[in-house]
Amino acid sequence: MSSPPLEILRTVNFSLRARLSRLPDRHSHATPIAPSEFTDMLADLRQATECLRSLPVSQAPFTKMAHEICEYRSHLQQLEKILPSVQARLLIEKARLQTARTHVAKAVAWAEGSKKTL
């Protein structure tokens, strides 16, 4: 039977693997990821952090745990590479939406002004 920390890391790694496959990297446009998935990913990362902090320092991890820790580290390194491009795309989208909002506000103001003159 597996220990709870091992199961936690396995679950987190499974979740991160799935989310990383959907995150776009610098060169591809993967399936869009919902904002709630970023919140869930943060919760997973916090859970893994607490799990790793609870491991005894003096005891060397056994093979399965060492493998999961290695995979978790790899996922963190992938996130480190991908997240800047995701942030850049989100900032571009935010600017586009702000431009569209300004355009709509100007159109509404023009329409209101047109009503008064007619």
24-47 tens-digit pLDDT: 665 556 566 778 888 999 999 999
Tokens of 71: 């995979």
Q: How far apart are CA 32 and CA 22, in angstroms?
A: 7
Strands of the chain, DSSP E: none
pLDDT class for 1, splitting at 50, 70, 90? Answer: very low
Overall number of domains in the chain: 1
Q: What is the mean pLDDT of the chain?
A: 86
For residue 21, the enclosing domain spans 4-117
- The kind and range of the H/E element at 64 are helix 63-117
